[in-house]
Structure 1
Amino acid sequence: MSDSVEPTSGEQSRSRKRVKNYGTGRTALLDAAVRVVAQGGLRKLTYRAVAQEAGVTHGLVVHHFGSRDALIEEAVNHAIHSSLGSSALGDGTGRPADFSSGLVDMVESGPELQAFQYELLLEARRRPELLPHLRSLYEEYFEATRRELERMLPGPVDRGTYRLVFAALEGLVLHQLVFGEREATEEALDRLRSLLTDLAQG
């Protein structure tokens, strides 16, 4: 029987880095940036932090993005498009009973993605230069909500209505993210769908 050999500290470090390596492509780096901000806020977002989180070199992050502002802008864009794809807002069925059917699972499967967006919204109160990026990208949320509501409701949907519905969805996401009450979120969504069904039929 051979003796077991304990890895050296250098080998342990290399092993941890290999395990943590999520990929070296642009999307993997954006995912790492989202996790860094979700865990520590926007102030923790540096090239080195993203590189460490992704298990790649600092230079690779610099190569892909060039500036911290570009990294932030692309991470915001990535986060919102990822959320749109998983929330069923972007490609719903047009039936009130299916409205935002992926929302609960979206929060459970990607809490960092949601936390990242709330961190940026709060940071934008202190850093107004973030507002144009967030405003233009949130318009995509609003527009996706409007389009989906117009597929199920008679007549055009006014801004107050689609903003109200989106605000309800966003509030449910935040509460589930913080309190983890999946059943409460599902109950509220069922009630929202019932209201939309009544509007569609009325």
Structure 2
Amino acid sequence: MTDLSGTARPNPSRSRDRAGRRVGYGEGRQALLRAAVRVVARRGLRHLTYRAVAQEAGVTHGLVVHHFGSRDALIEEALAYAVRTSVSSSLLEPGSGRVEDFAAGLSELVEADPDLQAFQYELLLEARRRPELREQVRALYDGYRAATERELSRILPEDAGPALTRLVFSALDGLVLYQLTLGGAGDTDEAVGALRELLRGMAREHTEHAR
């Protein structure tokens, strides 16, 4: 896609927010990435423009032009930001090996930042149409699955394996999507509880067969 601004890049030292405060390079970039996530999550990818992001972040339009230079760059960097933020804050791998800790707080994570979760689903669908986004989207989901597999292998007497990992992660991913669109935190908590019971049963079965 082409640059949507139609304007020359401004001097970054003149970039200010709505209150007239000077916005530093690093500070402005992170604020714009967070704003891009909110715009896509709430209005869809087709509404992601320089002006929409600037309005959402409360900064000048020129600051967005300066930092990203093209709409494609803005999309790709917002996706990279989501990858870094989501994987690092994931609750899939508490590291304790205790089934009661697995996916603890999942519903609260969705409630705390629903825009970040919705953004990921928007970009997941967009990656079907734009192959250049697939690598980063795949990295996001590979990170989720790897964390899930490591924790399941702590919970279960034998390694979880890719098939069980995909099954368990897909269940959790579906719960997040359902909570974002149709359900509530209570629905997610109840389903996670049922998933934990299944994992407990699997752990007991493995142990009994090993005797």
Report the TM-score range of the alignment, normalised by the length of the smaller protein: 0.7 to 0.9
Deviations 1:49-89 (A, max 9, x none): 11111011222223333332232222122223323344412
Runs of 4+ aligned structure 1 residues displaced above 4 Å come to: none
Matched with 1:102 is 105
Deviations 1:113-144 (A, max 9, x none): 11111111222223333222211222111111
Residue 18 of structure 2 is aligned to residue 30 of structure 1: no
- Of the three residues 122, 126, 131, the one matched with 2:129 is 126
Residue 161 of structure 2 is aligned to residue 158 of structure 1: yes
| C-alpha distance 82-90 of structure 1, shift in aligned 2 (>3 A) | farther
- SS of structure 2 residue aligned to 1:25: helix
- Of the three residues 193, 197, 200, the one matched with 2:200 is 197
Matched with 2:55 is 52
Counterpart of 2:80, as a letter, is N
Q: How many residues align?
A: 184
Counterparts of 2:70 and 2:143 in 1: how far apart (Å)?
25
How much is the aligned-residue C-alpha RMSD, in angstroms?
2.2
User: What TM-score, normalized to structure 2?
Assistant: 0.78
| 1:1-202 map, 5 Å | 17-18=18-19, 24-201=27-204, 202=206
Taking every aligned residue pair, what percent have the same amino acid on both sides?
61
Counterparts of 2:53 and 2:63 in 1: how far apart (Å)?
10
Is the 8 Å Cα contact of residues 93 and 102 (structure 2) preserved in structure 1? no
Counterpart of 1:200, as a letter, is A
